[in-house]
Amino acid sequence: MPAQDIDYVAPLKDEKRISELFGRLEYAPDPAVAYSREYGIQRLIFHHPSEPIKVDVFLDVLHMAHTIDFRKRLPEMRTTATITDLLLAKLQIHEITEKDLQDLVAILATHDVGGSGEETIDLDRLRQVLTNDWGFEYTAVQNLKKVGQWVEANGKVPPSTRAATVARAQELTSAVTSWPKGLRWRMRAAVGTRLRWYEEVEEVERK
């Protein structure tokens, strides 16, 4: 069974070439996104002509519940996004689903924390993104807590996977919460969850 949901990150300047490429492949642009581009949405969505395959292309940034800026990361990526950026893409989700939790388990159970390689969870990158954004950090910590609870409650997960996931989720939570924070972070933290700390994400609909 082919992948049904494929995500890409690309430079904004290549938008036209990307659209042409998917056009040649006979993918149809999603009208909901096409008509919103003028309002500043930096994202393209294409649908396969016959299979239920959806392709998301994030241009420069992933702007969903929280924002991840890829502009400086793109030159460092060879064929895929780094595991740290994949992790961030999951940790930013405000309304996390079971499928997202499964993805988080897959990332946490199979990748060490520390170091800056493409296949290890890079704490410097996490620090760079999360210490400037209280809302993102709050959501990320909540999701790390949820993945730990979920994996503990799920009997189908092999014990070694469960143990690795829980340990790394706790390790990341400790690291994230212990980093020194800037003034902006502390001011926003004082307001807390009384003010919405995430962007509302709409469903993409096709009629």
Footprint of other proteins (CB under 8 A): 5, 16, 31-41, 43, 56, 63-65, 93-102, 142, 146, 149-150, 153-154, 199-207
Minimum distance from residue 40 beta carbon to other proteins (Å): 4
Question: Is the Cβ of residue 32 or residue 118 nearer to other proteins in the bound state?
Answer: 32
Two structure tokens written together for 42: 């930096």
Q: Which of 49, 60, 80 is nearest to 18 (CA)?
A: 60
b/e map of 34-69 (b: 16 or more CB within 10 Å)? Answer: eeeeeeeebbbbbbbeeeeebbbbbbbebbbbbebe
Strand partners, 61: 69
Minimum distance from residue 41 beta carbon to other proteins (Å): 6
Question: Is the Cβ of residue 108 or residue 123 nearer to other proteins in the bound state?
Answer: 108
Question: Is the Cβ of residue 32 or residue 163 nearer to other proteins in the bound state?
Answer: 32
Question: Is the Cβ of residue 52 or residue 180 nearer to other proteins in the bound state?
Answer: 52
Minimum distance from residue 105 beta carbon to other proteins (Å): 12
3-class secondary structure, 21: helix
Minimum distance from residue 189 beta carbon to other proteins (Å): 20
Note the Cα 17 to chain centre separation in Å: 24
